[in-house]
Structure 1
Amino acid sequence: MPRLFTAIEIPEEVGSGLTLLRGGISGARWINPEFYHVTLRFVGDVDDALARDIAQMLGQVRRKAFDVVLDGLDQFGGHKPRAVFASVKANTALLELQAEHERIMQRLGLSPERTYKPHVTLARLRDASTRQVADYLALRGLYRSTPFHVPRFVLYSSRDSVGGGPYIVEAEYPLT
């Protein structure tokens, strides 16, 4: 039973820049650069028949390629930080692509996802102090990537784990 999600990949040069942001938070589990991505839609564990239907429906998506910029760092978890991430600058093309993925998944019977916040997870945190995370964000929070082109999206599979990979590209879908 595969665990699936759709995403856009982060180019190697942008990933290299993100690796320079590593360090400064005790106990952080930093994501390997080859696993950096912007999730479009988490699908979850599905049977093989539904996985095939998802792959087929995603093949019908017709969208134009677009550019993305990572703009700023933040954290999820509030007073109990659980992840540090790079934010994606507001982007209509990205939001429209994600909304189409959401509609496809709901048509196939999956429950709606929570509010979408495009980001690249940099580290997962366990028992990190709010002070350390605040200091980290104060020092590095103004990060901004160069714009990068998004020529495709992918369907990833992952093993059931605590996150961060390994991810396997099951299918790729070009954007025109």
Structure 2
Amino acid sequence: MPRLFTGLEIPPEIAQRLTLFRGGLRGARWIEPSDYHVTLRFLGEVDGGLAADLDAGLAEARARAPFTVTLDGLASFGGDRPRAVYASVVLTPDLADIQEEHERIARRAGAEPECRRFTPHVTLARLNREADAGAVARYLGEAGVFPPLTFTATRVALYSARTSRGGGPYRVEAAYPLWLDDASGLDDEPDED
């Protein structure tokens, strides 16, 4: 059974900038830059039928324009027991809307509802016990200024992950372009009669 999730790809130039934050934290297993992404909907291990229904739903998703994604800082998940360091992503109306649509598509395909609140992010490192809360706080404090990184999301991807601790490597199984159909009239200027 494949392990699947949907997400936004991180352009190579943004991934390269994120690599500047690698290192300096004991107990961190740094994610390969080619595996950086923003998860929209994690599904886990699914059977072939759900995977096919998910793919069909994503292929038929409503047309939408490409949108801007901004990464704006470093943080960690786990509080007193940190488990990951990530680059935070600004939750815009466009990003929230596409994530909500992926949740609906996943449920229609037969997935259980997602119980966790959507916190958009790019995981930079998974942490083991050697990375205690104090070490993570020092790392975040010493990381320096995080200049906002912005890119345009032009498609979403259906990813698969090999079964492993911490995921990765990830493979794009299918991609779905973001676009607006010119025939829909959504991009047309109003007529001036």
TM-score grouping bracket, smaller chain normalisation:
over 0.9
Q: Is 1:59 aligned to residue 62 of structure 2?
A: no
- 1 CA distance for matches of 2:147 and 2:43? 29
Question: Rg bigger for which structure?
Answer: 2
Aligned pairs for 1:46-85 (under 5 A) are: 46-61=46-61, 62-85=63-86
Give the equivalent residue in structure 1 for 2:36.
36
Which of 116, 119, 125 aligns to 1:117? It is: 119
Counterpart residue number, 1:130: 133
Q: For the Cα contact (< 8 Å) 1:28–1:124, is it kept in 2?
A: yes
Question: What TM-score do you get using the length of structure 1 for normalisation?
Answer: 0.96
Give structure 1 stretches of 5+ with no counterpart: none
TM-score (norm 2): 0.88
Cα offset for 1:167? 0.9
1:24 paired residue number: 24
| Offset, 1:24 | 1.4
- Asked if residue 15 in structure 1 is aligned to residue 18 in structure 2, the reply is no
Quick check: 38-47 or 144-153, which moved more? 144-153
Contact 2:72 2:149 in 1 (8 A): no
Matched, 1:144 2:147: yes
May I ask how many residue pairs the two structures share in their alignment? Answer: 176
One-letter amino acid matched to 1:72: G
Deviation at 1:90, TM superposition (A): 2.4
Q: Which residue pairs with 1:86 in the alignment?
A: 87
- Identity among equivalent positions (%) equals 55
1:141, distance to aligned residue in structure 2 (A): 6.2
User: Structure 1 residues 117 and 92, CA, compared in 2 at 3 Å: closer, same or farther?
Assistant: same
- For 1:18, the aligned partner's letter is L
**What one-letter code is carried by the residue in structure 2 that aligns with 1:66?**
F
Q: Equivalent residue of 1:20, what SS? A: helix
Aligned partners of 1:162 and 1:125: how far apart in 2?
11
**2:28 alignment partner AA:** A
Q: Which stretch of structure 1 is more off in the superposition, 22-31 or 104-113? A: 104-113
Q: Structure 1: which 4+ aligned runs deviate by more than 3 Å?
A: none
TM-align CA RMSD: 1.1
TM-superposed deviation, 1:104: 1.1
Give the Cα–Cα distance (whole angstroms) in 2 for the partners of residues 130 and 33 of structure 1.
Answer: 24
